Amino acid sequence: MGLFDKLAGWLGLKKKEVHVLCLGLDNSGKTTIINCLKPSNAQVQDIVPTIGFSIENFKTSGLSFTVFDMSGQGRYRNLWEHYYKEGQAIIFVIDSSDKLRMVVAKEELDTLLNHPDIKHRRIPILFFANKMDLRDALSSVKVSQMLCLENIKDKAWHICASDAIKGEGLQEGVDWLQEMPL
């Protein structure tokens, strides 16, 4: 980093860059959430299931995010661990109306937390209990109970109920992420 970059960083002109991993089962709404966080002119209209992964960029008031939007389909989930090293924060998305696959989400979360690249790093995890607009959606508290989030002791975590189609609840989550030391 050159002198100019450092100066710009101190003055707040250049935003700090953060690498974030966006994980979760298929059809939980990861791509929709990322899409909704992007500026309105960069948003795409139709969202299709992600193949492999894609890299997205967006900026907030303090940070510049680079997000690895991973595919959640079963056959692509083994790709996740290749990017664990780069991740400085994790966004984990849960479909809160999908009670059946909540156990699958929990299993994936447990494998993630026990992975050697993740286990000993104090990286913040932001959970989105997505699709809260659906009538049979579980509340964020209920989701955190089903995923046993209270057992996560050595990492900062936060759960937000969100509706990615309208963009509700996303800002609160990103605000929390910004306050974390990254």
Partner 1 sequence: MELNLNRVDYLQVGVTSQKTMRLLPATGRRAIQKVVIADHDGVVTCFGIKKGEAVPVFKTLPGQKVSRLELGGAIGTPQEKIFISVGSEVRGFTKKGKQFLSFETNFTEIIRAMYVSGADLFLCANYIYNHYCDCKDQDYYLSSDKINDIICLPVEKVGHIAPILACQDRVLRVLKGSDLSYEVEVSGAPKVLALHNGNGGDSGEDLLYGTSDGKLGLVQITKSSPLHRWEISNEKKRGGALCVDYHDVLGDGVKELLVGRDDGIVEIYGFDNNNEPVLRFEHTLSESITSIQGGCVGKEGYDEVLTATYTGWVMGLTTEPIQREAGPSDDLKINQEMQNKVMNIRVELEQLQMKVLQEREKYQQSAQSSGTVSAVPVFSVNDKFTLNHDDASYSLTVEVQTAIDNVLLQSDVPIDLLDVDKNSAVVSFSGCDAENGNFLLATYRCQANTTRLELKIRSIEGQHGTLQAYITPRLQPKTCQVHQYQIKPLSLHQRTHVIDPNRPMNTLTLTGQFSFAEIHSWVVFCLPEVPDKVPVGDSVTFYFQNTFLETQLECSYKKGEGTFKSDNISTISILKDILTKEATKRKINLNISYDVNEESINYTLNLIHPKLEHQLLLAKKVQLIDALKELQLYEGNVDFLIPEYRCILEEADSLLEEYKKQPAHLERLYGMITDLFIDKFKFKGTNVKTKVPLLLEILDNYDPKSLMAFFDSA
Catalytic sites, residue numbers: 73
By the rule CB under 8 A, 133 interacts with partner 1: yes
- Whole-angstrom Cα distance, residue 78 to residue 111? 11
Consecutive H or E run containing 102: helix 102-114
By the rule CB under 8 A, 139 interacts with partner 1: yes
Give CA separation, 35 vs 4, 47, 130, 135, 145, in Å. Answer: 32, 9, 14, 24, 28
CB of 7 or CB of 148, closer to partner 1: 148
Question: Which among 42-50, 85-93, 103-111, 129-137 is the span making contact with partner 1, rule CB under 8 A?
Answer: 129-137
Give the closest residue to 20 by CA, choosing from 39, 33, 10, 7.
Answer: 33
Question: Which residues within the stretch 76-115 sit at the binding site for partner 1 (CB under 8 A)?
Answer: none
CB of 53 or CB of 127, closer to partner 1: 127
DSSP annotation of 93: E
- Whole-angstrom Cα distance, residue 86 to residue 92? 16
**Rounded least distance, CB 160 to partner 1, Å:** 5
For partner 1, the binding residues (CB under 8 A) are 132-133, 135-137, 139-141, 144, 149-150, 152-153, 156-161, 163, 166, 169, 172-173, 176
